[in-house]
Amino acid sequence: MSYARRAWIVLWKDLVSERRSKETLNALLFFALLLLFLFQFALGDDRERLKAALPGLLWLGFILSGLVGLGRAFLAERDHDCWEGLVLAPGDKSAIYLGKVAGNLLLMLVVEAVILVLFTVFFNVDVAGHLAALVAVVLLGTVGFAAVGTLFAAMTANVRAREVLFPVLLLPVLVPVLLGAVKATEAVMLGEPLGTVARWLQLLGAADVVYLTVGILTFDAVLEG
């Protein structure tokens, strides 16, 4: 079986199980809606202040829902004793990692799209004008998030105090992605062309490459259990 096919099978398995159980997605969408309430309560009715804080809030929404979603990435394997199945799968284990990353990426992108729509409706943000640039920034940021998040989720799946440890490990490592994504989103929402934030995009790209490479190279060691 080819490498790409093995990655695809892992992705397909996750998609099917998610489609049938809708465990994670339903909860995450509800969670995203609740986050919106929280942001509104925290900032009040001041439109100006809300507008200035929007890029940060948007990514806070992505990060919080991502932490909840990614933390569950390997729970099915752990709870249903499929971990051995992954370990015993023939060939290069990094295919499993890439399949998992792809699945998490899709899940997060769906949630992020919904959060974005909710923001446009409830906070009256106009994203339609610069949607393409925004999508590029969100994609670059989310790939890095999913890459390192998937790796850490596999690491913390079998560890005591997993729920606490996962965000505690992930958040400091993700600071560059967060800063870059928020800064680039800020510029995009002000209607500036992507060229003005080229170095932030390069930083995001570099982070994506670094995290994916490390993940591919070290996932074998994580999977041993």
Partner 1 sequence: MSRALGWLTALGLAAGLVLAFGVAPREEIQGNVQRIMYLHVPSVLVAYLAFAVVLVASVAYLARRSEAADRLAQASAEAGVLFTGITIASGAIWGKPTWGTWWTWDARLTSVAILFVMYLGYLLLRAMIEDRERAARYSAVLGIVAALDIPLVHFSVYWWRTLHQPPSIFKPGPSTMPPVFLVVLLVNLAAFTLLYAWFVTKRARLLRREHEVFA
Find the helix or strand (DSSP H, E) in which 171 lies: helix 162-189
Spatial distance between the Cα atoms of 118 and 116, rounded to a whole number of angstroms: 5
Indicate whether 70 belongs to the interface with partner 1 (CB under 8 A). no
Q: Is 222 in the site for partner 1 (CB under 8 A)?
A: yes
**Paired tokens of 64:** 């919080």
Task: Give the footprint of partner 1 on residues 163-182 (CB under 8 A).
Answer: 165, 168-169, 172-173, 175-176, 179-180
Q: How many residues bind partner 1 (CB under 8 A)?
A: 32
- Count CB neighbours of 86 within 10 A: 17
Q: Which residue has the tokens 């994609």?
A: 139
- Chain centroid offset of residue 14 CA: 16
| Residue among 145 and 211 whose Cβ is closer to partner 1 | 211
Q: Which residues contact 218 (CB under 8 A, 6 or more apart)?
A: 151
SS3 157: coil
For 130, the token pair is 């610069």
Quick note: the x/- pattern for partner 1 over 104-143, rule CB under 8 A, is ----------------------------------------
Check residue 90 and report its DSSP letter: -
Binding-residue pattern over the window 181 to 220 for partner 1, x denoting contact by CB under 8 A: --x---------------xx--x--xx--xx--x---x--
CA distance 182 to 58: 8
Nearer to partner 1, 119 or 211 (CB): 211
- The nearest distance, CB 225 to partner 1, in angstroms, is 7
- Whichever of 88 and 132 has its CB closer to partner 1, that residue is 88
Q: Which residues in this chain contact partner 1 in the complex, by CB under 8 A?
A: 148, 151-152, 155-156, 158-161, 165, 168-169, 172-173, 175-176, 179-180, 183, 199-200, 203, 206-207, 210-211, 214, 218, 221-222, 224-225
